[in-house]
Structure 1
Amino acid sequence: MAVALNLIAWRSQMNRRRLMAQHVATEQLTITDWVQGLAAIPGRDFTLENVQDYIIRHSARPETLDKYCYFSKGNYTRNLIFKNEVFECMTICWEIGQASRIHNHRDQNCWMSAPIGRLKVQNFRVDDRDSARGTCRIVPTDIYEMDAAHPAHVNPLEPVHQVLNLAEFHQRAVSIHIYSKPFDTCEVYLREKGTYGDVPLHYTSQYGKLDPAEKLL
């Protein structure tokens, strides 16, 4: 019952914040200044609410993201912009029709915005988890769209989701993701098989430089 009430409260709060984002005057910054503003938030104040308020009130100018935009038809790309002990910030670049796997966030906070294009975010609930067997049941819950006017954050009570650039959107997308604290593995869930497991994470590029091992298609 308590979890259900907390979920209702979170959904209500998220709806209020999405409405707020439509009416708040957003200051447009270069990506460098935008990240510097994030880095100026003291670690003790780097909370879900404070960072969400920051990305509602400040947006990154799309034309300043070019250095951190690498696209590949093989898969979406993860491009590191900034990293310290408190948080990391990256772009994720999506060709038309690409989607992430269903994944978690290692109990860390995650915020997202999409200055270019739009994305669909599907949340899931994990039921019947058996860690010994690596099995579980994944149940779809909330679904919403994210674009330049509608930043979002991951629900700590349901931190498993999938991000999709649907073919019907007819355009590439670039999203900015903030993770606090940084993590280098996550759990990936195979809904059809009812299984899950750890997967290592890597960057396609770091600080604007492509990983030499990457082969973009």
Structure 2
Amino acid sequence: MPRPSTPLLSADRIRSAALAIIDRDGLDGLSMRKLAAELGVQAASLYGHVRTKDQLLNDIAASILQPVDMSGFDVDWREGLVRCARSYREALSAHPNIVPFLAYGPAGREESLRRLDILNGALVNAGWSRREATMIVAGLMFIVFGAALSSFSNGFSADPADYGDRFPNLDRAHLLPAVAAELDRDSFELTLAAFVRGL
């Protein structure tokens, strides 16, 4: 029997191709028809591996978030929050176009619910009420998702003339895009430290 000219489909291959489309074209750019064309198959072939586009997105999310570090809670709840937040931001920052999908919440994603269960349990065991634990986790997610979704520093023009005398306190704002990655990271760290210290 001759070897097929198109490599056989697999869940991993489908997820990788779909994520590449999302990274390149955004969430709205992903359709099952476009994904099938990218893989060199008919759209109907995909449905043997994924039932719906939402299931595919949930599978991609689980794959992206798999490296999130939940190990710090055996040391201290503060250390757990910091490790979780840093690794969460790192995972999301690599694929910012999928962040809006993830921001809707964890429903249907077993691994996300497991992480939230660990977070809430660690906080309740440390003495926080269930309501407070929920609010702390929500606050942490606001920080993480906000940091992963956009770059504050890249939002500035690199032309000094755009600021001039009209904005005297922004006279160095044109320098921000050149140090965006560093400044965005340091700003995230400052906010995370202030959040945890405030708690």
Do these two structures clear the TM 0.5 threshold for a shared fold by scoring above it? no
Return the index of the structure with the highest Cα Rg: 2
Q: Which has the higher strand share?
A: 1
Return the TM-score normalized by structure 1: 0.27
Return the TM-score normalized by structure 2: 0.28
RCO higher in structure (CA 8 A, sep ≥6): 1
Q: Which has the higher helix share?
A: 2
